[in-house]
Amino acid sequence: MNATTVSGRKQPLLYRLPVISHFRTSVGLQRGMLVTGLVLAVLFLLTAALAPIIAPYGFAQLSDASGTFPAQQPPSPAHIWGTTVSGYDVFSRVIWGAQTAFVVIVVAVVMSIFLGVALGLLSGYFGGWLDRTLVVIADAIYAFPSLLLAIVMSIVINHGQSSFWGGILACSISISVVFVPQYFRVIRAETIRLKAEPYVESAKVVGASSVRIMGRHIFKNATRTLPLIFTLNASEAILTLAGLGFLGFGIEPSSAAEWGYDLNKAIADASSGIWWTGVYPGTAIVLTVLGLTLVGESMNDLNDPRLRGRKKAGSKVPAGGPGSTAGAQAALEAEARMP
């Protein structure tokens, strides 16, 4: 029986979407991990989208109608999470920081997917010297630590000035350079496998161009693992952004709120017993990364038949769908076995 059908009937598109199809096939601990990750991820997305409504103050606001905000004030009705040494409202900084992190994730991962998928399709389909050259370059990039590359790119792009878009662009480009080889290798392995399928050979026989074959016959099937890689890379993008901010190469507080920068400024507070300036942005980083990682790891387990839980007898839930494809790790293993 086809994976997208149950009792001969094709499943609705909604049930075949990534995450939803994984949820329907999950059981026990796997479902618990997936639900927990989804709750945290949705909470992060809602916070980023509704930041202007949720935050009582601006990310760089230092005063209101009642006067200037006091520095390092403990949590109070006026500032429920206290204030920083500079007088910023901690709650507002954390809320606005979610929006900054979201923008970095979108820009960085979209750039990575665009370049990685395009290069992977070309390399896997045409092979030859192009394939060998791109594989060597992709492997060489793995030798560079992502955070070190991010620091270098930040200095080159910003010239020491961390504006909002300058900081986001620096972080996004550095993350993209590191992530492109991951997308490239997965798409290349899938393209090499798919171009030997009968329907691709038939398209060649009838005279279809290479562009049409890659775009119409290979692209859709080769990119089914992208949602999984996206969730894992999104969490790493947040950590890279936080690392840049913590080391002083991120975004200035007057340009945008950033969790890593706030943690850097909270180091001196910790020795004085001022806990609120570091606990809340640190918790935001941990929960956001945990949520995205749980979603990614759950999807990876459910994509692997060896790790996927078994449904109870009599269950009519489908074993998978277009969203339930071979995991990214399996694709990398397949590539390693190919010449």
Domain residue ranges of the chain, discontinuous segments joined by +? 39-61+76-309+317-337
Residue 280 in this model has a pLDDT that exceeds 90: yes
Per DSSP bridges, beta strands 67-68 and 9-10 are: unpaired
Residue 251 in this model has a pLDDT that exceeds 70: yes
Q: What is the pLDDT of residue 7?
A: 46
Segment 295-307 shows an average pLDDT of 68
Rounded (5°) CA angle 30-35-39: 150
DSSP E strands, the chain: 5-6, 9-10, 63-64, 67-68
Taken in order 10, 12, 18, 21, the sign of the CA dihedral is negative
Of 85-89, 202-206, 296-300, 304-308, the poorest mean pLDDT is in 304-308
The token pair at 90 is 């901690």
Q: How far is CA 224 from CA 207, 216, 328, in A?
A: 26, 14, 10
Place of tokens 């492109």: 180
Q: What is the pLDDT of residue 208?
A: 79
Residue 253 in this model has a pLDDT that exceeds 70: yes
Residue 112 in this model has a pLDDT that exceeds 70: yes
Segment 18-47 shows an average pLDDT of 78
Q: How far is CA 308 from CA 32, 66, 298, 318, in A?
A: 13, 58, 9, 13
Place of tokens 């040494």: 85
**What is 39-61+76-309+317-337's CATH topology?**
MetI-like fold (1.10.3720)
Q: How far is 257 from 259, CA to CA, in rounded Å?
A: 7
Q: How far is 80 from 94, CA to CA, in rounded Å?
A: 12
- R_g of the chain, CA atoms, integer Å: 23
Confidence of residue 10 (pLDDT cuts 50, 70, 90): low
The alpha helices in 195-218, defined as continuous H runs, are 198-205, 210-212
Residue 175 in this model has a pLDDT that exceeds 80: no
Q: How far is 236 from 321, CA to CA, in rounded Å?
A: 27
Helix axes 28-49, 90-126, angle to 10 degrees: 120
- What is the 8-class DSSP label of residue 281? H
Amino acid at 213: I
- What is the 8-class DSSP label of residue 216? I
Segment 329-334 shows an average pLDDT of 50
Q: How far is 89 from 54, CA to CA, in rounded Å?
A: 13
3-state secondary structure of 37: helix
Segment 81-108 shows an average pLDDT of 90
| 12 CB-contact burial (10 Å; exposed 0-12 / middle 13-18 / buried 19+) | exposed
Question: Could you report how far apart the first and last alpha carbons of the chain are, in Å?
Answer: 33
Q: How far is 309 from 312, CA to CA, in rounded Å?
A: 10
Contacts of 279 (CB under 8 A, 6+ apart): none
Q: What is the pLDDT of residue 312?
A: 43
Q: How far is CA 52 from CA 26, 102, 283, 332, in A?
A: 36, 14, 21, 42
The Cβ of residue 213 has, within 10 Å, a number of other Cβ atoms equal to: 20
3-state secondary structure of 242: helix
Return the HEC string of 272-331. CCCCHHHHHHHHHHHHHHHHHHHHHHHHHHHHCCCCCCCCCCCCCCCCCCCCCCCCHHHH
HSE-up of 11 (CA within 13 Å, CB side)? 23
Name which residue leads in pLDDT, 306 or 215: 215
